[in-house]
Chains A and B, each alone.
Chain A
Amino acid sequence: MPRITVDGRDYEVPEGRTLLQALDDLGVLMNGVEIPHYCWHPKLSIDGSCRLCQVEIEGQPKLQIACNTPVQDGMVVYTRTERVRRAREGVMELLLVNHPLDCPICDQAGECKLQDYAFEYGVPRSRTREPRRALKKRVDLGPTIVFDQERCILCRRCVRFCREVPGTGELGVFGRGDRSVVDVFPGEELRNDYSMNVADICPVGALTTRDFRFRIRVWFLKEIPGVCTGCSRGCNIHLGTAYNRVYRYTPRRNDEVNETWICDEGRLSYKAIGAPDRIREPWLRSARGVLEPATESDALGRAADRIRTAAEAHGPGVVAALASPHATNEDLFVLRRLLAALGTEVHGMAVPRGRGDEILLREERAPNVAGGRALGFGEAEPVLDRIRGGGVSVLLVLGHDLLDPRYEGALDALRRCESVILLDTHHSELERAAEIVLPVRHAAEKLGTFTNFAGRVQRIEPAVEPPFLALSDGETLHRLGRTLGLAGFAGVYDVRAISRAIGSEFPAFAGRDVDAVGPLGLPLAGDPA
């Protein structure tokens, strides 16, 4: 492998890579080695158009762009010399000649590379008196993206993204020289399942998502690492939160899972967190047959009562559970323990499905299908069959995954149970069959892990608090176990301890607890995938 020296430090780098690529591979780019860049992006082809990444290389008379200069053994690179600084200053001056500098009303302000590098390399005064080019300030490129032509610095990241990632190629650069503009083909629009990524990779405020623009100044946002719950890919994300609300999901780089992307559907799934149809309190079916608000202890008391009575009358086998792949490994592990303590083995897991694609989106539309399977939850159908056959008196249901069209008639089947105990985040039709409804936390509101389709255990943590009383599925079940007086359910719920305990019962999870998996997750131990 070639050895190179950058600013006096030696690096061993992979062959056949360019300088920026090699430094990025090593994880030191912008993390020790600061080489500013606009057009280069680790997951897109090389453009070489912005010229900002120029560096000095020993033996080469002119500065070279680091993004497109292949590494060679013995290469000696300087990124902080006076020549480099002046070159960057010149590039910044040219980029700013036509930039509107409307930062006070720009959504990108605060997370803008133009601002950042102008701060570092900008010249304090303008040498031009000519008017800046006047272009359209609001172009609707499609249903998701709004474009400000004046702010664009023509790095072509968005153009390359559309051609290389979704392969739809809606965008192009039209015109020439200082008349160049990014646009769509006449009469068409930017419309694909990944369109909103262009707003993330736009280094300036030219491309903004219709969903997020003007919602909040970004410096008020706290970016909490998490995992998208839209499908079993488990794309790594940041949850942008402020005032106890989630304002957006943005992709968080994980080369093993989602590189730097996320699909539009997943990105917008944050809306479910603060949705008006969240279940905000426990509900109990009254003697009149309607659901009425109740206290948690009443709800848990009634649930425990139903379980105990049924088990005493017909044996524990009449108590069954349908788990949710939206629940964490920890939640599901507590459910397993609860069922084991009750002495029943009747359980399954309903998995909602949708359209998948070849990029990120998976057919299984829940984040923890593999986790549920690894913890022993099989298909839902056998349980539903048993319910239809009258073999289940009390059914614990997590989530509303059963409403997926593939479980047609599940609601009718549930009505055959004497009592359905539902733990869910959102109101749904499923409540019609429920006697007891308990509110639970969304993934954005709790600590735990999901196991993605490839067997990677990934951590989620609370980004917001629910504005009502609700616990995680695991803690709710723990309290139910305690109300039932079951062994092992006394005391305070400790999700970290639960997370560690999974590994002792399921060896694949050993060393994969919330505190061990790290920000990028870990594959299940001994997992062939």
Chain B
Amino acid sequence: MVISEAVRERIEAAKARFPQPRGALLAALHLVQEELGHIPPEAEREVADLFGLRPVEVHEVVSFYNMFHSESGGRHRVYVCTNLPCSLRGARTLLRHLESHLGIRCGQTTPDGRITLGHEECLGACAYAPMMRVDRTYHEDLDPERAVRILDELE
């Protein structure tokens, strides 16, 4: 089993809050990803068991949403928003800058396993463009230098 007993309990509690237990599937997947860092096929199978679904149905949900990861990544996941408002405010340049600073391409993980860099379509913070998400924290009104400082402070 890859999902801990503690997380299983929290999933059961989440299920109880929905008229259809299946409604708690997204919440459950968030809990699993929080614990494991990503959602591997074994975890999908276990979640499917908990919900009486087929593993393939859980995988459909996991693969649909950008915030769920099937592959393991670095200790921190950094996503630069590259949708239109952010791009108009320099998000592409920001992303290129971070790529060269970290020495990896978008979608890759640093060799020391510290950071996985990616981009996302819209994180809903257009008024503060350009912006990036570091794990669960939004960093807004960025310029390349500040973004690099933020990344350098990550352990």
Instruction: Name A's B-contacting residues (CB within 8 A).
Output: 163, 169-176, 184-188
Contact = CB atoms under 8 A, between A and B. Distances in A.
B41 A174 contact: no
Contacts of B57: 169, 172
Contacts of A174: 59-60, 63-64
B54 A169 contact: yes
Contacts of A175: 63-64
A187 B56 CA distance: 11
Given A170-B56, A171-B56, A172-B56, A185 B41 contact: yes
Contacts of B64: 174-176
A174 B56 CA distance: 9
Nearest to B62: A174
A181 to B, nearest CB: 9
Given A169-B57, A172-B59, 19 more contacts: A163-B54, A169-B56, A171-B56, A172-B56, A174-B59, A174-B60, A174-B64, A175-B63, A175-B64, A176-B65, A184-B56, A185-B41, A185-B44, A185-B54, A185-B55, A185-B59, A186-B41, A186-B59, A187-B41
Main SS of chain A's interface residues?
loop
B54 to A, nearest CB: 5
* Interface band, chain B: 10 to 19
A62 B56 CA distance: 35
B56 A185 contact: yes
* Shortest 9 CB-CB contacts between residues of A and residues of B: A172-B56, A174-B63, A185-B56, A172-B60, A186-B41, A169-B54, A176-B64, A185-B55, A175-B63
Interface string B29-52: 000000000000100100000000
Main SS of chain B's interface residues?
helix
Contacts of A184: 56
Contacts of B54: 163, 169, 185
Nearest to B53: A169
19 contacts: A163-B54, A169-B54, A169-B56, A170-B56, A171-B56, A172-B57, A172-B60, A174-B60, A175-B63, A175-B64, A176-B65, A184-B56, A185-B41, A185-B56, A185-B59, A186-B41, A186-B59, A187-B41, A188-B56
Contacts of B56: 169-172, 184-185, 188
A529 B44 CA distance: 46
A364 B20 CA distance: 43
A515 B70 CA distance: 60
Interface string B63-79: 11100000000000000
A174 B57 CA distance: 9
A186 B43 CA distance: 12
Contacts of B63: 174-176
A169 B41 CA distance: 16
Nearest to B60: A172
Contacts of A171: 56
Nearest to B64: A176
A170 B56 CA distance: 7
Interface in B54-106: 54-57, 59-60, 63-65
A188 B54 CA distance: 12
Contacts of B41: 185-187
B10 to A, nearest CB: 25
A121 to B, nearest CB: 30
Most buried by A among B44, B54, B56, B60: B56
A149 to B, nearest CB: 14
Nearest to A179: B63
Contacts of A188: 56
A466 B116 CA distance: 66
Nearest to B66: A176
A173 B41 CA distance: 15
A187 to B, nearest CB: 7
A398 B127 CA distance: 84
A274 B132 CA distance: 66
B101 to A, nearest CB: 28
Contacts of B65: 176
B62 to A, nearest CB: 8
A171 B57 CA distance: 9
B88 to A, nearest CB: 21
Contacts of B55: 185
Most buried by A among B41, B44, B59: B59
B40 to A, nearest CB: 9
B64 to A, nearest CB: 5
Contact of B60 (A170, A173, A187): A173
B86 to A, nearest CB: 19
A176 B63 CA distance: 7
A174 B59 CA distance: 7
Nearest to B48: A185
Nearest to B41: A186
A254 B56 CA distance: 31
Nearest to B45: A185
Nearest to B57: A172
Nearest to A162: B56
Nearest to A173: B60
Nearest to A184: B56
A71 to B, nearest CB: 29
A476 to B, nearest CB: 52
A188 B48 CA distance: 15
Nearest to A172: B56
A55 to B, nearest CB: 30
A173 B56 CA distance: 9
B114 to A, nearest CB: 27
Most buried by B among A175, A186, A188: A186
B113 to A, nearest CB: 23
A160 B59 CA distance: 16
A156 B40 CA distance: 25
A154 B55 CA distance: 20
A488 to B, nearest CB: 61
Nearest to A187: B41
A175 B54 CA distance: 17
A366 B90 CA distance: 72
Most buried by A among B41, B57, B63: B63
Nearest to B65: A176
